[in-house]
């Protein structure tokens, strides 16, 4: 089965020109091998760029350690000499220690994965922020908010790295539990405003369910793209209706506002996609008409 190289119209066997745009038909099997144009990869070998080895050497670690250690000791000695104890020097010292960990950790533990390095960096920053909050007075005051935010970031990074995208349902499940725990913690830390159960959890659940449905339809995008797009539109309408209803019910009463407008646009479009997907004659006509 051949198609026109210009407009994409299906050609009958033996056609010399396209019936729509009159473009000459040249079939690859009919070409002389001597006239065949060589592709770029055949004419010139592909040059592979060398990969950069970003892990610092031991000499670099030693140099960084010396550079960071010098201002650390000077700051500490000045503070102790003036105040007879550690006061303001705690902040620059802990900052320098954090900088040293972020730079030297990949070199200290050779063979570690990117995930392990990211985990060390995130938890080091969280501990650093909490130590500043602890040293500055009553604990906790503010550090728990960025700390749990960093923990949520780690959950979103850890999901694909631990389960891989082949286990997309486990990734979505970890994201759901991590986000739910984060929102619940924010609700409790802000005085328990009681918005997690009636508002945040239903919205999070419907979005996760939509993600699961989308993951289940991955095969349709290759085999039946029109059917997949139509189903995605229907799922999007359901998601927006649920979110609209949950938000309005939490604020005042169950009164849908903006979601019916979106449904009026997406539902007819989805129905049209379903009709085109099931009607080969209509699909062929649209392909010829719009040169798809």
Q: Nearest 5°: phi and psi at 3?
A: -130, 155
Give the DSSP letter of residue 2.
E
Structure tokens at 82: 């003036």
Q: Compute the average pLDDT of residues 18-43.
A: 60
Band the pLDDT of 52: cuts 50, 70, 90.
very low
How far are the Cα atoms of 145, 184, 190, 250 from residue 133, in angstroms, in the given order? 11, 22, 17, 35
pLDDT tens column, 69-99: 999 999 999 999 999 998 999 999 999 999 9
Domain extents for the chain? 217-292
Reported as type and span, the H/E element at residue 10 is: strand 10-11
- Among 5-19, 54-68, 182-196, which range has the highest average pLDDT? 182-196
Can you give the pLDDT at residue 11? 79
> What is the rounded CA–CA span in Å between residue 247 and residue 240?
10
Band the pLDDT of 43: cuts 50, 70, 90.
very low
> What is the rounded CA–CA span in Å between residue 228 and residue 199?
30
Comparing CA positions, the residue from 240, 243, 234 lying closest to residue 267 is 234
pTM for the full predicted model: 0.71
Q: Per the omega criterion (within 30 degrees of 0), is the bond before 192 cis?
A: no
Write b or e for each residue in 96-111: b if 16 or more Cβ atoms lie within 10 A of its Cβ, otherwise e.
Answer: bebebbebbbbbeeee
pLDDT tens column, 125-162: 999 999 999 998 888 889 999 999 999 999 999 999 88
Write b or e for each residue in 52-64: b if 16 or more Cβ atoms lie within 10 A of its Cβ, otherwise e.
Answer: eeeebeeeebeeb
Can you give the pLDDT at residue 112? 62
């Amino acid at each position: 089965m051949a198609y026109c190289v210009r407009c994409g119209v299906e050609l009958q066997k033996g056609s010399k020109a396209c019936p729509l745009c009159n473009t000459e038909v040249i079939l690859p099997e009919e070409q002389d091998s001597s006239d065949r144009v060589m592709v770029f990869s055949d004419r010139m070998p592909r040059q592979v760029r060398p990969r950069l080895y970003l892990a610092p050497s031991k000499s670099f670690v030693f140099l960084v350690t010396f550079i960071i250690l010098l201002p650390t000791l000077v700051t500490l000695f000045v503070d102790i000499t003036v105040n007879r104890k550690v006061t303001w020097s705690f902040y620059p010292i802990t900052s320098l220690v954090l900088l040293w960990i972020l730079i030297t950790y990949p070199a200290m533990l050779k063979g570690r994965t990117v995930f392990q390095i990211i985990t060390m960096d995130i938890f080091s920053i969280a501990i650093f922020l909490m130590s500043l909050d602890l040293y500055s007075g009553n604990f906790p005051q503010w550090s728990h908010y960025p700390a749990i935010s960093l923990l949520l970031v780690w959950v979103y990074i850890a999901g694909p790295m631990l389960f891989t995208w082949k286990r997309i349902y486990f990734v979505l499940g970890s994201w759901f539990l991590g986000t739910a725990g984060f929102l619940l913690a924010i609700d409790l830390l802000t005085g328990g405003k009681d918005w997690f159960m009636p508002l945040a959890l239903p919205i999070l659940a419907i979005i996760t369910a939509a993600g699961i449905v989308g993951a289940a339809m991955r095969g349709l995008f290759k085999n039946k793209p029109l059917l997949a797009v139509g189903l995605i539109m229907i799922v999007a309408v359901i998601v927006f209706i649920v979110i609209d209803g949950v938000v309005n019910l939490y604020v005042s009463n169950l009164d849908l506002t903006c979601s019916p407008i979106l449904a009026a646009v997406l539902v007819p479009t989805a129905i049209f996609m379903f009709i085109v997907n099931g009607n080969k004659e209509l699909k062929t006509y649209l392909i010829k008409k719009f040169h798809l």
